[in-house]
Amino acid sequence: MLIDAVSNDIKIVRNEEFCLVFDDPIPSRGLLWTDLVAWWARKNGLNPAVRETAVSLYKRLAQSLASPPEKLLFRTYFRSLDSLGGGLPALVPQVYLHYDPYTQRERRGNQLLPRQRMDFLILLSHLHRIVIEVDGKQHYADGDHASPARYAEMVSADRDLKLAGYEIFRFGGAELDGEAGEARVVAFFQRLFEKYQRR
């Protein structure tokens, strides 16, 4: 529920215990992992300087991940890129762009809002918003059969996101398996941060 559209006040009316709402202003330099940890610490009465605080946030975010490829990407990001230290951009999983609580039936046949949730979001700056999607077959198939309609929905939603200022990178779920998958994730983020000069 939106309480005040001008100030963007949000009230969660159901399942609040499962939701995290980052309500701090996002710095123009982007959202760092240290920013997220400081917010988490303040919300939970924890010390942001203690490693266990960051670990508790990591575990809480990891709980939202369902697929093994998503888990590999998230785990590898934090294990392999800690050399950035305090400059590590926050990799936020399962971010809702908007939320539509109504089912197709409740909408009486009207179309559901597309692309409600992003697999991962990185805010490198107010100008560079990076969406990372990990595609299982549900992105392009109905069951075991390729679905041109489902694929068309996906690329249409991608265009809308790009026009709204997001850059989208996709991984096929089959790419993210084992050591080869971990190496692929590390190489991707190294190139991404080189592109945006985040070393």
More confident residue, 183 or 161: 183
**Is pLDDT at 10 greater than 90 in this prediction?**
no
Q: Which residue has the tokens 């999983």?
A: 93
**Taking a C-beta distance cutoff of 8 angstroms, is the pair 15, 24 a contact?**
no
Distances (CA, A) of 180 to 34, 75, 79, 125, 187: 29, 14, 15, 30, 11
* Model pLDDT, residue 52: 96
Sign of the alpha-carbon dihedral angle for 168, 169, 171, 172: positive
Residue at 191 is within a domain: yes
More confident: 1 or 143: 143
Please tell me the predicted confidence (pLDDT) of residue 3. Answer: 43
pLDDT value of position 5: 35
Structural domain contains residue 179: yes
Evaluate if residue 170 carries a pLDDT over 90: yes
User: Is 148 among the domain residues?
Assistant: yes
pLDDT digits (tens, 9 = 90+) for 90-125: 999 998 765 445 544 554 555 544 456 789 999 998
Q: What is the mean pLDDT of the chain?
A: 81
**Burial label, 143 (beta-carbon count in 10 A; 0-12, 13-18, 19+):** exposed
Q: Is residue 97 part of a domain?
A: yes
- Whether residue 1 lies inside any domain: the answer is no
Number of alpha carbons in the 13 Å side-chain half-sphere of residue 43: 15
Q: What is the mean pLDDT of residues 65-79?
A: 95
pLDDT for 95 equals: 87
Question: What percentage of the chain reaches a pLDDT higher than 90?
Answer: 47
* 71: containing domain: 67-195
- How many distinct structural domains can be found in the chain? 1
Q: Is residue 54 part of a domain?
A: no
Indicate the length of the chain as a whole number. Answer: 199
Note whether residue 60 is domain-resident. no
Residue 1 has pLDDT above 50, yes or no: no
Question: Average pLDDT of 39-51?
Answer: 95
Q: Tell me whether residue 12 is in a domain.
A: no
Record the tokens describing residue 65, joined without a space: 């991940």
Q: How confident is the model at residue 78 (pLDDT cuts 50, 70, 90)?
A: very high
pLDDT of the residue at 117? 75
